[in-house]
Amino acid sequence: MQARAHLSLPISKMRYDITLPLFEGRVELDGIDLVPTATSPMVFEDMPDVRQGNFGVLDFNMGYLLSAIHAGWEMVALPVFPKRKSVLQYFFVAADIKTPKDLEGRRVGTRQYGTGVAVWGRGFLKEHYGVDVKKLNWAVQVAEVFPNYGGTANIEMVDADRPLADMLMAGEIDAMITDISDGALFDRLESSAGVKRLFPNFRDEDLKMQRDSGIFPVMHLMVLSKKLDQDHPELAGKLYTAFEDAKALAYQDIRNDRGGLPLTHTRENFDAQMAEWGDVMANGI
């Protein structure tokens, strides 16, 4: 009997601890050969291959999902969330802003209006802190690829090459809500006399939100080519199980003192976090 051909499946290269066992070959995927591929989760311009479903499995920014599907992009969402993190840590404001409500009528900078950080940020301001987000004036650096279905936002395009932090420190914007993946920039913002965090106790606020609503914000999720999903209806389930198995192995590595992060007492801190927060990296519906 001739052996069944394996499906060669492109998948985004990812550095998350909870997906690492998948790329190390420690998770069994019957009939599937993963092909790690350099991709971006961001949509700063049209992406014809993704739009037409000519991809495999993509690490995708959550903020674009509904807009992309509504625009006809050939993808289906998997309930797999490889990247979750606090949004409140990214609210930096001018020193004269005391409360979230003080943002109304002010100029708020962000990289792109439709990214996960900005979407979650607006939602939290409105639903948890009583801010009328229609009164915010947005200074945005990257134009939207998808329509703004809200339709009433005050959006102004600003220089994409000039750091938002510089604009904030110069008083050209009153606040910034944008992802920061730069430790030196955090240091600079935290040491600036004219800038402060809107939520200096963001860890406490995050924990309260997690306990009250079960929300720890999803930044990225995995999407599958709609063509592949139709041609291989078993694929989505196999992938979901594989990501769950990879996460379980990653958690086991932490508890077995095999985690790669240079942090002291990693197992003890992990156990304490699980007891206090629950599984903040939960997948599923």
- Checking if the pLDDT of 7 tops 90, the result is yes
Query: Which residues are CB-contacts of 89 (< 8 A; sequence separation ≥ 6)?
Result: 197, 199, 202
Tens of pLDDT, residue by residue over 79-130, are: 999 999 999 999 999 999 999 999 999 999 999 999 999 999 999 999 999 9
For the residues 37-43, what does the mean pLDDT come to? 97
Distance CA 276, CA 271 (A): 9
Question: Which part of the chain is CATH 3.40.190.10?
Answer: 7-85+216-277, 88-213
Measure Cα distances from 281 to 3, 39, 189, 221 in Å.
Answer: 37, 22, 28, 11
Query: Which residues are CB-contacts of 224 (< 8 A; sequence separation ≥ 6)?
Result: 56, 57, 58, 75, 76, 77, 78, 235, 236, 239
Mean pLDDT of the chain: 95
3-state secondary structure of 248: helix
CATH number for 7-85+216-277 (one of 1.25.40.10, 3.20.20.70, 3.90.550.60, 3.40.190.10): it is 3.40.190.10
Whole-structure pTM value: 0.94
**Residue 3 has what pLDDT?**
52
pLDDT-derived band of residue 161, with 50, 70 and 90 as boundaries?
very high
- CA-based max dimension of the chain: 75
- Checking if the pLDDT of 150 tops 80, the result is no
Find the helix or strand (DSSP H, E) in which 11 lies.
Answer: strand 7-12
Percent of the chain beyond pLDDT 70? 98
- Checking if the pLDDT of 4 tops 80, the result is no
For the residues 241-251, what does the mean pLDDT come to? 98
Within 10 angstroms of residue 25's Cβ, the number of other Cβ atoms is: 9
Tens of pLDDT, residue by residue over 220-243, are: 999 999 999 999 999 999 999 999
What one-character-per-residue DSSP string does 128-189 give? HH---GGG-EEEESS--SS--TT---EEEE--TTS-HHHHHHTTSSSEEE-----HHHHHHH
pLDDT-derived band of residue 202, with 50, 70 and 90 as boundaries?
very high
**Residue 219 has what pLDDT?**
97
Residues in the chain: 285
CATH number for 88-213 (one of 3.40.50.720, 3.40.190.10, 3.90.1640.10, 3.40.50.300): it is 3.40.190.10
Residue 74 has which token pair? 């050939």
Burial class (CB within 10 angstroms; exposed 0-12, middle 13-18, buried 19+) of 181:
exposed
The strand order across the sheet containing 32-37 reads 32-37, 7-12, 57-61, 218-225, 75-84
pLDDT-derived band of residue 76, with 50, 70 and 90 as boundaries?
very high
**Residue 260 has what pLDDT?**
78
3-state secondary structure of 57: strand
**Residue 148 has what pLDDT?**
84
Q: What single DSSP character describes residue 223?
A: E
- Checking if the pLDDT of 248 tops 90, the result is yes
Within 10 angstroms of residue 261's Cβ, the number of other Cβ atoms is: 7
The closest of 241, 64, 30 to 147, measured between CA atoms, is: 64
For the residues 31-43, what does the mean pLDDT come to? 97
- Checking if the pLDDT of 2 tops 70, the result is no
Distance CA 241, CA 161 (A): 42
Within 10 angstroms of residue 2's Cβ, the number of other Cβ atoms is: 4
